[in-house]
Amino acid sequence: MPRSHEVAVAGDAPYTIHIGPGLLDDGALLARRVRGGDAMLVSDAHVAPLYADRVATALRAARPELRLHRHVLPPGEAAKTLAHFTDVTTALADARMRRDATLFALGGGVIGDLAGFAAACWMRGIDCVQLPTTLLAMVDSSVGGKTAVDLPQGKNLVGAFHPPRAVIADTAALRTLPARELRAGLAEVVKYGALGDAGFIDWLDANAAALLAMDDAALAEAIARSCAHKAAIVARDPFEHGERALLNFGHTFGHAIETEQGYGGLNHGEAVAVGMVLAAQLSEVLGLAPAADTARLRALLQRLELPVALPPGLDPDRLLAHMRLDKKAQADGLRFIVWDGIGRARVLAGVSETAVLDVLRR
Ligand code: NAD
Ligand code: GLY
- The predicted pLDDT at position 1 comes to 43
**Longest pairwise C-alpha distance within the chain:** 63
- Ligand 2 pocket: which of 230, 243, 272 to mutate (most atoms within 8 A of CB): 230
Each residue's pLDDT tens digit, 23-42: 999 999 999 999 999 999 99
**Residue nearest ligand 2's atom 1 by CA:** 247
- The whole-angstrom separation of Cα 239 and Cα 341 is 26
Determine whether the shortest distance from the Cβ of 269 to ligand 1 is under 6 A: yes
Each residue's pLDDT tens digit, 55-68: 999 999 999 999 99
- The predicted pLDDT at position 325 comes to 86
Pairing of strands 166-170, 127-132: parallel
Determine whether the shortest distance from the Cβ of 177 to ligand 1 is under 6 A: yes
pTM to 2 decimals? 0.97
**What CATH fold (topology level) applies to the domain 5-176?**
Rossmann fold (3.40.50)
- The whole-angstrom separation of Cα 250 and Cα 146 is 17
- The whole-angstrom separation of Cα 253 and Cα 24 is 35
The per-residue pLDDT of the chain, averaged, comes to: 96
- The whole-angstrom separation of Cα 326 and Cα 275 is 14
Q: Which residues are designated catalytic?
A: 124, 146, 188, 230, 240, 244, 248, 251, 255, 268
Contact 267, 184 (CB under 8 A): yes
**Ligand number, closest to the Cα atom of 240:** 2
Determine whether the shortest distance from the Cβ of 351 to ligand 1 is under 6 A: no
- The predicted pLDDT at position 326 comes to 75
- CATH of 179-360 given 3.30.479.10, 3.50.50.60, 1.20.140.10, 1.20.1090.10: 1.20.1090.10
Cα-to-chain-centroid distance, residue 142:
6
* Centroid of ligand 2 to alpha carbon of 103 (angstroms): 21
Q: How far is CA 151 from CA 84, 157, 252, 322, 350, in A?
A: 12, 6, 16, 12, 25
In one-letter notation, the amino acid at residue 55 is V
Each residue's pLDDT tens digit, 94-135: 999 999 999 999 999 999 999 999 999 999 999 999 999 999
* Domains of the chain, residue spans: 5-176, 179-360
**Ligand number, closest to the Cα atom of 52:** 1
* pLDDT bracket for residue 331 (50, 70, 90): low
**Ligand number, closest to the Cα atom of 243:** 2
* Centroid of ligand 2 to alpha carbon of 149 (angstroms): 14
- Ligand 2 pocket: which of 156, 241, 248, 258 to mutate (most atoms within 8 A of CB): 248
- The whole-angstrom separation of Cα 17 and Cα 15 is 7
Each residue's pLDDT tens digit, 186-228: 999 999 999 999 999 999 999 999 999 999 999 999 999 999 9
Each residue's pLDDT tens digit, 157-172: 999 999 999 999 999 9
